[in-house]
């Protein structure tokens, strides 16, 4: 496997329900942390990529605004968007720019300030991440879409509401340890199962919360990584795929084909297999999304993902620790920043800097980031 592009710096703001500053100030919080982590100056960067889903704030073309505020002019800056997977799509774009030789060091900055609009307006915008002619006009929302997946998984494989609740209990256990998470409270099975339905069979605690936040990832060529960093984390494999925009074009609802395809690509590129992964961050926007990820990523056969959570195999001490930073269910989900936050967690794990949630001896990590209802699927494999 080639070690041509490395991550040399990572940063993240606290994820909060109502950030009081502007989007440029929010982006700066993650950028400052990442640049301090990398130990470089703005003049060492060749380009920046800003990742954000539109329509949550009034600013059009935020990349120019943010690049100027961060002192990155006159380097080129770009906007990348694939809804909830925007910042891992940004990472893939930065990787390609560096591999091509066009740039040597690129900052990928993801942000979202979702509190500028109401929760109802936010749900309406999320719904428009699907087909606006044949689906969203009829009131579809993200909880309803994922409830459809949950119901299909239940009927196809026999999984239950208790299995989903166990995933939320795990998220809460580790979310308490994450100082940057929105939700830092313990939850037991009864509290999860007794919470109100949002879209049956999904309940309130099966759903992640909207949040404001930012993330920043600094990528560099092998030559620059060795010059700048004593602790580079290498990009070993990348996979990306898209699925039918309309749900009527899907062959199955018990999994996400875009993720399966992206995972195959990432494993092939890295010469890795699912059993080689030491720690994973998966896109648990809903508890069912994490369960499907176990199977779509090859950690379990279809229908056998429930055995991983029932047997504690996705806990810190288990065979394949998953979302030991609390995941989206605890951290919150500031759309454009989410993927970068997931990457940050894995980078810290592979550098042995994850503190109380450190997976002993972690050398290979995986990030799984989904846009919309599996419309976009990104999988990244990283190595120390």
First to last CA, the chain: 13
* Pairing state between β 376-383 and 233-242: antiparallel
* Phi, psi for residue 160 in degrees, rounded to 5: -135, 170
Indicate if the alpha-carbon torsion angle 178, 86, 234, 34 is positive or negative.
negative
Pairing of strands 233-242, 5-12: antiparallel
Backbone angles phi, psi at 64, to 5 degrees: -65, -40
Q: Which of 103, 153, 283, 333 is catalytic?
A: 333
CA distance 258 to 265: 11
Q: Which residues, at least 6 apart from 301, have a Cβ–Cβ distance to it below 8 Å?
A: 295
Does the active-site annotation cover 333? yes
Q: Which of 84, 207, 216, 285 is catalytic?
A: 84
Of 58, 54, 201, 207, nearest to 128 by C-alpha is 54
Length of the chain: 384
3-state secondary structure of 5: strand
Q: Helix %, strand %, coil % for the chain, to 5?
A: 40, 20, 35
Alpha carbon distances (Å) from 344 to 69, 95, 176, 254, 348: 23, 16, 18, 29, 6
Would you call 142 helix, strand, or coil by DSSP?
A: helix
- Rounding to the nearest 10 degrees, give the CA dihedral for residues 368, 373, 374, 375: -120
Reading the block at residue 222, the tokens are 């092998």
**By the 8 A CB rule, do 30 and 109 touch?**
yes
CB atoms within 10 A of CB 343: 29
Residues labelled as active-site residues: 84, 333
């Amino acid at each position: 496997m080639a070690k041509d592009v490395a991550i040399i710096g990572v940063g993240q703001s606290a994820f909060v329900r109502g950030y009081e500053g502007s989007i440029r100030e929010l982006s700066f919080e993650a950028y400052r942390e990442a640049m301090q982590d990398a130990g470089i100056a703005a003049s060492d960067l060749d380009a920046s990529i800003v990742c954000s889903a539109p329509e949550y704030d009034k600013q059009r073309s935020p990349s120019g605004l943010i690049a100027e505020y961060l002192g990155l002019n006159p380097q080129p800056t770009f906007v990348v968007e694939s809804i909830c997977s925007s910042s891992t799509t940004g990472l893939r774009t930065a990787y390609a720019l560096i591999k091509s030789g066009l740039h040597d060091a690129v900052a990928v900055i993801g942000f979202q300030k979702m509190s500028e609009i109401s929760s109802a307006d936010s749900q309406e915008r999320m719904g428009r991440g699907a087909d606006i002619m044949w689906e969203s006009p009829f009131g579809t929302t993200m909880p309803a879409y994922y409830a459809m997946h949950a119901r299909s998984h239940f009927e196809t494989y026999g999984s239950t509401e208790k299995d989903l609740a166990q995933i939320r209990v795990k998220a809460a256990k580790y979310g308490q340890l994450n100082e940057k998470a929105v939700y830092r409270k313990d939850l037991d099975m009864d509290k999860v199962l007794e919470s109100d339905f949002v879209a049956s069979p999904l309940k309130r605690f099966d759903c992640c919360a909207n949040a404001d936040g930012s993330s920043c990832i600094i990528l560099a060529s092998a030559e620059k990584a060795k010059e700048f960093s004593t602790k580079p984390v290498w990009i070993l494999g990348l996979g990306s795929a898209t699925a039918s925009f309309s749900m009527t074009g899907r062959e199955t609802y018990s999994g996400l084909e875009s993720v399966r395809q992206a995972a195959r690509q990432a494993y092939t590129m890295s010469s890795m297999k699912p059993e080689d992964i030491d720690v994973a961050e998966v896109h648990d926007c809903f508890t069912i999304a994490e369960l499907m990820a176990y199977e779509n990523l090859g950690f379990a056969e279809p229908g056998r993902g429930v055995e991983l959570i029932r047997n504690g195999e996705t806990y810190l001490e288990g065979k394949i620790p998953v979302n030991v930073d609390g995941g989206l269910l605890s951290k919150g989900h500031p759309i454009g920043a989410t993927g970068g936050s997931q990457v940050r967690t894995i980078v810290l794990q592979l550098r042995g800097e994850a503190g109380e949630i450190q997976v002993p001896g972690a050398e290979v990590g995986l990030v799984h980031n989904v846009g919309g209802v599996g419309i976009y699927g990104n999988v990244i494999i990283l190595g120390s």
